[in-house]
Chains A and B, each alone.
Chain A
Amino acid sequence: MIETKDIYKSFGDNEVLKGITADFKPGKNNLIIGGSGSGKTTLLKCIVGLHAPTKGDVIFDGENFTDMDFEQRVPIRKQIGMLFQNSALFDSMTVEENIIFPLNLFTTMSKSEKLDRANFCLDRVNLEGKNKLYPSELSGGMKKRVGIARAISMEPKYLFVDEPNSGLDPQTSIVIDELIAELTLEYKITTVMVTHDMNSVMGIGDHIIFLHKGQKWWEGSNKEIAHTDNKELNDFVFASKFMQAAKEKL
């Protein structure tokens, strides 16, 4: 299980996170939601170690990740897959090379085993046969799917996803959400996703943490979110007329 304990993070005088304590449920889709500037991505980056918290701890299965140095973090990092907001594919490598890259560095697999694994991952995200394409030749949705394929290539225990639907049309967004949910269920991955897409929240949000002004404001499931009396959360979730109309029908 992933836990954050009293996480604070400041950039200069700007305190972005103000004491976030949260548990992320194993084998579930854990969503971090909130408005722009609420600290969602900063929290995610603190959890994965891209930002060092000003104060507080991140715990992976009882081990304090924050206190570890680079070498000590490597065994945990090998269990982490991450999909970035802009996919962050290595643009000098083909799709296949992107997926094989972590296998080259951290496994003793033979060339054919690595190729089989890459093909399996590509099949899993419905991109079979796209091995030799470069990221510049892919659409936004395809890039996200390659990003997911790369993230699962090492069979991760934890999957971190930053704004998977940004820049995608609604249909593709749903495809990506469903793919993430399927993988979470199939491989019993603990998924932590940052999003402000309400379709994701309602569709796959097993466990939702709502951040407001750098603090944890609300926590619950997608079933509970529709009936909450938390004003800030209601203002955020039901901001659009469509969502207001949907709420009235619930």
Chain B
Amino acid sequence: MFTSFGRYILLLRLSFRKPEKFSVYWGEVMREMVSIGIGSLGIISIISVFIGAATTIQIAFQLASPLIPRSIAGSIGRDTTILEFSPTISSLVLAGRVGSSIASQIGTMRVTEQIDALEIMGVNAPGYLIAPKIIGGVTMVPLLVIVSIFLGIGGGYLACFTSSDVSTSDYIAGLRDGFDPLTVQVALVKSVVFGFIITSICAYQGFYTTGGALEVGQSATRGVVYSCVMILFADLVITRLML
């Protein structure tokens, strides 16, 4: 485990070495940002709306008491979406979508000698392949999380609109009640860290793939599993430190 961690740190150090030509690397960063950001927008939108709606209905169901104001569904739904569902669930989904793609792409390049070809040319392969993905991850995952927060809250509103459990006016009153901007800061810190975890761990798994097609698949699976575990661990640590 310590050997792997050491190799991971060394690979990260190599990844952020001075680029051979900034303009070429910038192009790669843009390509990765589009791939991670725009490419994941659809799935993130769908899960955010549904999770937001389901969460609001469940909160309303569990807190159905004359002693509790109905607007509480909006407050709890908002904070749960901002603090947990949008950053963590979105990142777990992104680990599957983006992480597996990164690990299998780099892994395939490794087993088909494309990475060797880069090195022979004098290109810093970790810098060219991994750094743009990490930059793309830490910039686009927070943006996706912001979109997810809005859509999750919107999903809650839709759930109120289509059911009689909580009225939309109660829900909006709950959203406005006791909002703490710290929750958004926590969500953004989480999303930056999760973006880094997904891209760097999956890139590491892909970069050190040996063998053939079977091993590329195994690297992608390992990348996703390790990313998910590390996301949940980092989630706990950040929550403990910031709240």
Contacts and interface: CB of A to CB of B under 8 A. Distances in A.
Do A and B come together as binding partners? yes
Nearest to B114: A88
A82 B113 CA distance: 11
B185 interface: no
Contacts of A104: 21, 24
A35 interface: no
B20 A88 contact: no
Interface stretch (B68-76, B80-88, B118-126, B225-233): B118-126
A90 interface: yes
Contacts, number: 53
Interface in A36-82: 48-50, 70, 73-74, 77-78, 80, 82
A194 B117 CA distance: 16
Chain A's interface size range is 20 to 34
Contacts of A48: 120
Nearest to B27: A104
A174 to B, nearest CB: 24
Given A88-B113, A91-B114, A105-B20, A82 B120 contact: yes
Contacts of A90: 109, 114, 117
Contact of A86 (B112, B120, B124): B112
B119 A49 contact: yes
B113 A78 contact: no
Contact of A84 (B20, B21, B24, B117): B117
B116 interface: yes
Interface string B23-44: 0100000000000000000000
Contacts of B123: 102, 105
Interface string A102-114: 1011100000000
Highest count of chain A CB atoms <10 Å: which of B113, B114, B117, B119? B117
B113 A80 contact: no
A85 interface: yes
B114 A102 contact: no
B116 A88 contact: yes
Nearest to B116: A50
A82 B122 contact: no
Given A86-B112, A86-B113, A90-B114, A105 B121 contact: yes
A151 to B, nearest CB: 9
A104 B122 CA distance: 13
A85 B24 contact: no
Interface string B100-135: 000000000100111011011111100000000000
A74 B114 contact: no
Chain B's interface size range is 10 to 19
A84 B119 contact: no
Nearest to B124: A70
Contacts of B112: 86, 88, 91
A20 B109 CA distance: 30
A90 B112 CA distance: 9
B24 A102 contact: no
Contact of A82 (B20, B109, B117, B124): B117
B113 A84 contact: yes
A84 B121 CA distance: 12
B18 to A, nearest CB: 9
B116 A78 contact: no
Contacts of A106: 20-21, 121-122
Given A73-B122, A77-B122, A105 B21 contact: yes
A133 B124 CA distance: 26
A172 B20 CA distance: 37
Nearest to A150: B117
Highest count of chain B CB atoms <10 Å: which of A78, A88, A105, A154? A105
B137 to A, nearest CB: 19
Contact of A102 (B17, B116, B119, B121): B121
Contacts of A78: 121-122
A113 B37 CA distance: 34
Contacts of B17: 70
B196 to A, nearest CB: 24
A85 B122 contact: no
10 contacts: A70-B124, A78-B121, A88-B112, A88-B113, A89-B114, A90-B109, A90-B114, A91-B114, A102-B121, A106-B20
Given A49-B120, A50-B116, A80-B120, 13 more contacts: A48-B120, A50-B119, A77-B120, A86-B112, A86-B113, A89-B114, A90-B109, A90-B117, A91-B112, A91-B114, A105-B20, A105-B21, A154-B121
